[in-house]
Amino acid sequence: MKAKPQVSPSEADCLQRALNGDEQAFTELVDLYQTPVHNLCYRMLGNLQEAEDAAQETFWRAYRNLQRYDPNRSFPTWLLSIAAHYCIDQQRRRRLPVIELDEIFEDMEDITADPGPTPEKIITENEDIQVVQKQLAGLNPVDKAVLVLRYFQEMSEDEICKALSISKSAVKSRLHRARLHLANQMMNNKFNMISEGRYHESLSI
């Protein structure tokens, strides 16, 4: 399932009230857009705690700069643009993104404290998260942002241009590079799996 936030009339009303200085209305906006923003941060940073902090920071920055928001622009795109820029900065600061798989499982344990999902579903979701995060790890922060916005937020190339303040050709070339990286990584994984299989076979012989 993907998130493509569209502004409904009630959301527009909420936004208008927030623009007029209604704090409660802004909290409602936080409630509305928490999942896409958090998802973007998580896919960019690969850690739930950091994603929570980044999402909090994103909403805080949006709140502080609400008067600079151009109502002719899409609010979710503006919000996601703040989140993407913040996550890119965070990634650049730490330089080498390390995804601890154990951490993902631990984080997921916290999330799944909610009695809703079944153990099978948790395992499947964990595996899914693990595979996706493994795929994204090692990508350049901006390439990763472009890819995440394209596939997880389903933004068009034009929307990505606006969100990241880069040209359309830059979006295209970054998407190409990110896709090539993922495909190469997938090929390497397959190759490693085959090599390991052969190694185990030779051991058993």
Partner 1 sequence: MNHYPYKNWILNHPELTKKQKQELLDHFRICTNCQNLQLAWQESEKILKSAILVSPVAGFPERWAASAKKRMERENSRQIRRTLFGVFTLMAAGTTLYIVQNNLLVIWLVTALNLVSSLIIILSKGITGISELFYKEPTAAIYLGVLFFGAATAFLSAFVFALWNLLTKEKVMHEHSVQD
Task: Enumerate binding residues for partner 1 (CB under 8 A).
Answer: 1-3, 27-28, 30-31, 34-36, 38-39, 42-43, 48, 51-53, 55-56, 59-60, 63, 110-111, 114, 125, 128-129, 131-132, 135, 147, 151-152, 172, 175-176, 179-180, 182-187, 190
Cα 180 from Cα 170, distance rounded (Å): 15
Q: How far is CA 15 from CA 7, 27, 64, in A?
A: 9, 10, 14
For residue 183, the minimal CB distance to partner 1 (Å) is 4
Q: How far is CA 41 from CA 46, 73, 79, 125, 126, in A?
A: 8, 21, 12, 18, 17
Under 8 Å CB-to-CB from 175, ≥6 apart: which residues? 143, 146, 147, 150, 157
CA 112 to chain centre: 19
For residue 59, the minimal CB distance to partner 1 (Å) is 5
For residue 176, the minimal CB distance to partner 1 (Å) is 6
Under 8 Å CB-to-CB from 102, ≥6 apart: which residues? none
Cα 157 from Cα 149, distance rounded (Å): 9
For residue 104, the minimal CB distance to partner 1 (Å) is 10
Q: Which residue lies nearer to partner 1 by CB, 43 or 87?
A: 43
Q: Which residue lies nearer to partner 1 by CB, 51 or 163?
A: 51
Q: Which residue lies nearer to partner 1 by CB, 41 or 142?
A: 41
Q: Which residue lies nearer to partner 1 by CB, 64 or 205?
A: 64
Q: Which residue lies nearer to partner 1 by CB, 133 or 202?
A: 133
Cα 79 from Cα 18, distance rounded (Å): 14
For residue 82, the minimal CB distance to partner 1 (Å) is 14
